[in-house]
Every structure is written in C-alpha cells, then in structure tokens.
Chain A
Amino acid sequence: MQFVSLSPLDLALAAVLIVVLAALSWAARFAVERELLIAGARTVVQLSLIGLVLKAVFAHVHLLWISLMAAAMVLVAGREAMMRQERRFQGWWGYGLGTLSMFVSSFALTVLALLTVIRTHPWYQPQYAIPLLGMILGNTMTGISLALDRLTQTAWDQRRMLEQRLMLGETAMEAVARIRRHAGRSGMIPVINAMAAAGVVSLPGMMTGQILAGAPPMEAVKYQILIMFLISAGTGFGALVAVWLGSRRLFDQRERLRLDRLSAPKHR
C-alpha cells in the first residue's frame, strides 16, 4: 500500500489554521479561543499517547494487555455516557447502567465480528480488535446516553401522568410503555440517519482515513459497510438493554414511581 507519510512540519502547518482561528475568535469576541487552543493541544497529546499505547500493544500481542485496554475503554465510555445525562440514576446505577449496557452490546459484537466475520489469527489481533471496539463503543455510548437521557427526562416531565395511570390500576410497564418506546427510538435515530446518509451526504470518517492511508476504495467500502452494521447493531442493542433496565429502575418492586432515585440536574 502506498501512502504519503506526514512529517511534523505538515502537522504544524495544519496547527497554524487552529491558531489563526483562535486569533479570529479573539478579534470577533467569540470568547472560545482559550477552549479551542486547549482542545487542540489535547487532541495532539491524547492521540499521540494512544498511538504509543497502540504501538506497544501491537508489538506484544497478548490477550491480557488487550483485555486491559478494552476494559479501560469501556469504563471511560461508561463515565462519559453518564456525564451526558441531565438526570441520572443515583449511586452505582448511574454509572453501572450505561456501562453494563455498553459492555453487553459492544463487547459481544466486537468478539462476534472478530470470530465470525474478520477471522484474524489470533482472534484478538489488536490491529483489528482495538479500532473495532473503539468505533462501536463511541457510537453505542452516544445511543445509550441519548436513550437514557430521554427516558429519565420524560419520566420526570410526565411524572403526574405516570402516577395517574398507576392510580387507575395500570401496571408500571403499561404506564411507562410509551416513554420507553420514545426513549429507545431516540437512541437509534442517529445510527439510522448515518446509514441512510452514508456516502451520499458524507463520506464516513473511517473509510476516508483508509483511502487516505492508501487502501483500495472498494476494500475501504466493504470495511465501512461492516462497521456501519456493527455500529448500528451495537447502538440498537445497547439502547434496548439500557431502556429496559432503566425503565425498571424507575419503579420499585411495588411498582411505585421512584424519581427520588434520579439526581437533580446540574444548573448550567
């Protein structure tokens, strides 16, 4: 495969663009120049570090190291999914719910894809396993946090309606059914839109990267289709599990609406 290797000077030229943008932001009083420069610096540092870690992991193909890295990725993604919710479950549930849903769907799908579709040797070949898991996790995280955020926020907004339905003798699951459907749907809409727009409105980032790195377009396309399906399935399964567990956690064993299990939203 042929590709143009980037020198530090090439990257410095691109960095100049960010500095120019920061200067314009300062001149136009957008007041985001500080955040912009910090974010730019974080991109360089974080990606370089992950590059070093990947280099090390690729050099020592060992299930333990790969499992450790994968576990760290899921734990960070779980935290991020929790932080994105306005009203989250209090205590361990707030963290555990998203992380568990993500673990179930992302891990299962990554392992499935490695064993049955890509069939590398060994199956945990990090060059495939880590990027695959990363991409599925990133999207699943968005889907799960959207679905849970919608579930808890709507339950809060419609708490009087939920309790009225309980008073009239509906079961908790009957009362919350409509809210569950909406929450599940809002978690899945982004991936459905992404699949529908793929290649027409936008060239997906992974495919673009592969083509830039010298891969033949049709090979890149095949991988992109695989990734899209895995991402959609991961997001969908993750959102289903999260909404299923979350809607149960909204009620106790006597089917009382327990919004005291949600934290108050932070004022922004």
Chain B
Amino acid sequence: MLELLELQTPLFGPVSLTLTRGECVGIAGPSGAGKSSLLRAIADLDPHAGTARLDGRDMTSFTPAQWRRRVQLLPADPEWWLARVGDHFPRRLVEAARRLQLPDGVWDWPPERLSSGERQRLALLRALAREPDVLLLDEPTANLDADNVAGAETLIRESREARQVCVIWVSHDRGQLTRVADRRFILRGGRLVAETEQACSSSR
C-alpha cells in the first residue's frame, strides 16, 4: 500500500493520496501541470516537502536505492547506456517480450538500434524485471501503435493482479485512463481533483 502525505514541491502540491494493493490511479492534466514532477517526487528524485509511505514505512527509513527499486518510475523517455539491451536487465522476461511483439534477438542488440516504441516497451519490462511494489508510469504508451498499447495495458494489469503492484498512471489520453484506472484524477493548479462522472462526460 502506498500513501502520499502532503507531498509538495514548488511545481505542485500539496498532494495526499492512498492507494491500496493492486490499485491503479490515473492522473491526467494539462502539460506543465506538474504530473511528471509528482512522479519524480514520489520516487524521491527531487527535493520535496511531505513524504510517502510504503506498507506504513516512511520513505526515509529505506535507503534511496531500496526505495527506488520498490517504487519504479518509468520515465517518458527512458535511457539506455550499456553496450547491449540485455545488460540492463537483472533477468530477461522472454515471454513478456514476445507478447509485446519484440524480436527474439533484441537482448543482444545495441540500444542505438531500438526504435522509440521498442525503447518504451523494453523500459516497461526493465522496470517489471526489478519486481517493484509500485509502478509510476509517465505516458508509458505514447510511442506505441494500437496493438502494442493493448499489449502493454494487459501486461500491467496482469502485474497488478499477480503481484498486487500499485500503479500511478499519468497520461493525457483520458480514454486510456478510463480503461486502466480504478480511480481518476486531474492535476490542476498543482492539486489533485477527482474526476467526476460529469467532468468525464463533458470532456468527451
């Protein structure tokens, strides 16, 4: 279970939110509203006021590396720095890679050979391979075609069901959030506003 308590930086907040195990919260909002900053603060990558707790334990009671391994942030534009794609993985998720339509030999490719869509799908696998308790997703399917969007959504849903992973899913695609999220919010003026049915229907 993930709790955000009065989390705040100059770019957003304060934000308080509690996610139960396996829950997915969707966050939409205009660009520049601080969605990515919110995810960065939860992963403890930026200085912030307030705190976050995992299963009742404060983030400061973990080492920063432990916290970030358990609370994986998947950035919008993931980086690859080692010689081969497979070097970035503690273990290869071969079956999941096939389901995301990645070529079998992709593990031995140099990262420069990857398309932006392949980068994004592999980055999702790279985060899942670390078996996190929380996934923070920043536009995780922005570069994918329709088939792969569906594949990624399914893979994330299965992680939630099988391993009770909590997910905070940031997207500008309201339709996608309606499909994947249990609760939806809009980050507006730095605050989380619950998306009501009325707001949903008026935005369509």
Contact = CB atoms under 8 A, between A and B. Distances in A.
B65 A164 contact: no
B75 interface: yes
B64 A164 contact: no
A256 interface: yes
B57 interface: no
Contacts, number: 56
Interface in B8-23: none
B47 interface: yes
A166 B46 CA distance: 12
Nearest to A252: B47
A169 B81 contact: no
Nearest to B40: A163
A170 B81 contact: no
What bracket does the count of chain A residues touching chain B fall in? 10 to 19
Nearest to A164: B79
A168 B43 CA distance: 10
B137 interface: no
Nearest to B126: A168
A255 B64 contact: yes
A191 to B, nearest CB: 30
What bracket does the count of chain B residues touching chain A fall in? 20 to 34
Given A163-B45, A252-B47, A256-B46, A171 B79 contact: no
A176 to B, nearest CB: 12
Contacts of A163: 45, 75, 79
A248 interface: no
Nearest to B43: A167
Interface in B111-167: 126-127, 130
Contacts of A158: 81
Given A161-B79, A164-B79, A164-B81, A169 B44 contact: no
A169 B69 contact: yes
Interface in B26-49: 43-47
Interface in B50-105: 60, 63-66, 68-69, 72-73, 75, 77-79, 81, 88
B52 to A, nearest CB: 12
Task: Among A161, A168, A171, A255, find the residue whose CB has the most chain B CB atoms closer than 10 A.
Answer: A168
B188 to A, nearest CB: 26
Interface of B: 43-47, 60, 63-66, 68-69, 72-73, 75, 77-79, 81, 88, 126-127, 130
Interface of A: 158, 160-161, 163-172, 252, 254-258
19 contacts: A158-B81, A163-B79, A164-B81, A165-B81, A167-B73, A168-B68, A168-B88, A168-B130, A169-B65, A169-B68, A169-B130, A171-B64, A171-B65, A172-B64, A252-B47, A254-B44, A254-B64, A256-B44, A258-B47
Given A167-B75, A252-B47, A258-B47, 20 more contacts: A161-B79, A161-B81, A163-B79, A164-B79, A166-B65, A167-B45, A167-B72, A168-B69, A168-B127, A169-B65, A169-B66, A169-B72, A169-B130, A171-B63, A171-B65, A172-B64, A254-B44, A254-B64, A256-B46, A257-B45
